[in-house]
Amino acid sequence: MIEVVISALVLASMYGLIAIGISLTWASIGMLNLAQGFIFTAGGYTAWLYAQYAEGWGLEGVGLSAGVLVFGMLGSALAGLFVGAIAFLPLQDRDNFRTRSLIATLAISLIGTQLWLILFGPQNKPLPPVFGEGRIEIGPAGMSYQQLGTIIVAVVMLALVILWMRSSRRGLQMRAMMMNPLGAAVVGVSVRSTGMRVLAISGALTGLSSVLLAQVFFVSPTSGVQPLTTGLIISLAGGLGSIPGTVAAAGLIGLAEALTARYLQQSLVPFVLFAIVVLILIFRPRGLGGLLEDVRE
Amino acid sequence: MAILEIEGLSAGYGPVRVLHDLSLTIEPGERLGLVGLNGHGKTTFLSAIVGLTGWQDGSVLFRGEQIGGRRTHGMGRKTPQIVRRGIALSPQGDAIFPGLSVKDNLDSGAYTGATWRSRRKRRERILEVFPPLAPLLGQSAGTLSGGERRMVSVGRALMSDASLYLVDEPSLGLAPKISLNLVAALLEIDLGDGAMIIAEQNLPLIEGRVDRVLGMHAGELKLDVGEALGDVPPASAVHL
């Protein structure tokens, strides 16, 4: 049972990071970013490229690990800005921005997958183990360094983002824009520059998740598809725009996935996740976040 | 130099033209009252100054610098740059941030430029103007009453380092006594070299407290305030 809980926490950490990126982007600029999978893969490949060079230089240990994390986040943040430059800035004040940007990000996602295929080929690329190899035993159960590291890194990163959003001027501007775009414009918050900032931050969170997930799976041209789907499920269940709601939904979905994989079978996971999100949306159309806070007026 | 010099301003939304060729000059230290019925363009006029209309045309000089001009789309796109030059708008319907605390809402008025560092001092000044907000600072703004929300909205506008304050219908939807106090507090603020335009449906609230009152009727400015408020000529008296 403890193993299921640990596995649930690891899944929640990895997918929660992507979901928070999707949720923040939707709440602040009204864009459902389907290119989040492309951004995810961009971080994975950047980290992989870095690891190739770093191993060539003979770098190992903490330097290599930290570099993989940092370059994964950097690559995805840049990919986020790239998506913004194409799907957000030129379309932002046109009619039906939501539909237009949805189509644009879908296009980026489809073209991006082919781009990775051309650039890196169809082979899976492994990343070096960031947290080292080994296990710690706690009483009857134990967890690997990779599992422990994933949970710690994700929680620390999330705490930093929440702290920044609650206390810094830029963070407050972002939250203001999420709650009332007109009020934000009136106090001098530019939707365009704040929106790009949100895309970079969402990208960095996604890149972190990409590196963490690549510890278990590999980086491949299509490795962003499944995390995008799970991220969308979590952000919908959490109530788009609500960080507490998204965290709660990540825990719930992680637990559901771990339980299903343990006691039923792995192939049933998507069915169970979609069933949960359908149930939540029937009874709570605004997702779990509607219970936890006032998201938007 | 005049604070605001408007020349031939027309504005609207889509196919609808709300403002027709307005011209107006506002001098430093001036308080202008703008009265008129609902739907005659008061809000659109204040919005046009900061570029929050669907489209607009005509010159708007703020302290000698052009902030208007011809624009066919891009509502609100230039608004952040315009307000950073020193214009503070308290929009109709508050537009406060419901999930932020009262303190963060007030501080948001000082997001621009160097005012951020002096936000504590500014906030204390606002609390002197609106003492009822003092015990509510930590509370989420979404839980406030209508009058308190309006104070937050007007207070937020006053937090900035503006030389032109635009206040849209401060009394709208408030109980008479509350709106009386709010408008009185608002009009007692020392503007220095700045200026204020206050749009109001309720003429007695501002009459005698502002330097000049103009009427707004069907998208045009009128010197005759009675016409803007739709005073019926004394025909009914004849009928009696």
**Residue A111 placed within a domain:** yes
Share of chain A above pLDDT 90, in %: 47
Q: Find, among B224, B174, B222, B223, the residue nearest to B202 by Cα.
A: B174
Q: How many whole angstroms separate alpha carbon B175 and alpha carbon B36?
A: 20
* B76 close contact with A: CB closer than 8 A: yes
Q: Looking at the domain assignment, is residue A12 inside a domain?
A: yes
Instruction: Kindly state the helix (H) or strand (E) to which residue A70 belongs, with its residue range.
Output: helix A62-83
Of residues A185, A76, A229, the one with CA closest to residue B91: A185
Residue type at position A9: L
What distance in Å separates residue B109's CA from the closest CA in chain A?
5
**Closest residue by Cα to residue A79 from A207, A170, A228:** A207
Q: How far is CA A80 from CA A158, A197, B47, B123, B139, in A?
A: 18, 9, 33, 37, 35
Domain limits for position A253: 2-292
Probe site for chain B from A187, A242, A286 (most B CB atoms < 10 A): A187
Could you give the CA distance from residue A66 to residue A56 in angstroms, rounded to a whole number? Answer: 16
Q: What is the least distance, in Å, from the CA of A223 to any CA of chain B?
A: 36
**What DSSP string describes chain B?**
--SEEEEEEEEEETTEEEEEEEEEEE-TT-EEEEE--TTSSHHHHHHHHTT-SSEEEEEEEETTEE----BSS-TTSSHHHHHHTTEEEE-TT----TTSBHHHHHHHTT-SGGGGGGHHHHHHHHHHH-GGGGGGTTSBGGGS-HHHHHHHHHHHHHHS--SEEEEE-TTTTS-HHHHHHHHHHHHTS--TT-EEEEEES-HHHHTTTSSEEEEEETTEEES-HHHHTTPPPTHHHHH-
Q: What is the CATH number of the domain that holds A30?
A: 1.10.3470
**Tens of pLDDT along B133-145?**
999 999 999 889 8
Instruction: Round to whole Å and give the CA distance between A164 and A181.
Output: 20
Tell the burial category of A86 from Cβ atoms under 10 Å away from its Cβ (0-12, 13-18, 19+). Answer: middle
- ipTM for the predicted complex comes to 0.83
CA angle B136, B92, B154 (to 5 degrees): 40
H helix or E strand, kind and range, residue A143: strand A141-144
Per-residue pLDDT of chain B (240 residues; tens, 9 = 90+): 889 999 999 999 989 999 999 999 999 989 999 988 888 889 999 999 999 898 999 999 999 899 988 888 888 888 888 998 889 999 988 889 988 899 999 988 888 777 888 888 889 988 888 888 999 999 999 889 888 898 899 899 888 888 899 999 888 878 888 888 888 888 888 888 889 999 988 888 888 888 888 888 888 888 777 766 765 444 444 444
pLDDT in tens, A184-207: 988 888 888 899 999 999 999 999
Residue A117 · residue A221 · CB < 8 Å: yes
Residues of B in contact with A29 (CB under 8 A): none
Separation between Cα atoms, residue A179 and residue B100, nearest integer Å: 9
Q: Which of A169, A186, A189 to mutate to test the interface with B (most CBs of B within 10 A)?
A: A186
- Please state, in angstroms and rounded to a whole number, the distance separating the CA atoms of residues B232 and A4: 78
For the segment A232-242, the average pLDDT, to the nearest whole number, is 88
- The structure tokens 């879908």 sit at A106
Interstrand relation of B195-200 and B212-217 (parallel, antiparallel or unpaired):
unpaired
Do the domain assignments include residue A175? yes
pLDDT of residue B32: 92
Domain count, chain A: 1
Query: Is A297 part of any domain?
Result: no
Confirm or reject contact between B84 and chain A (CB < 8 A): yes
Q: Compute CA A163 distance to the chain's CA centroid, rounded to the nearest angstrom.
A: 18
Interface contact A188-B97, CB threshold 8 A: no
Residue A152 lies in a domain: yes
Asked if A179 and B97 come within 8 Å (Cβ–Cβ), the reply is: yes
Inter-chain residue contact A186 with B91, CB threshold 8 Å: yes
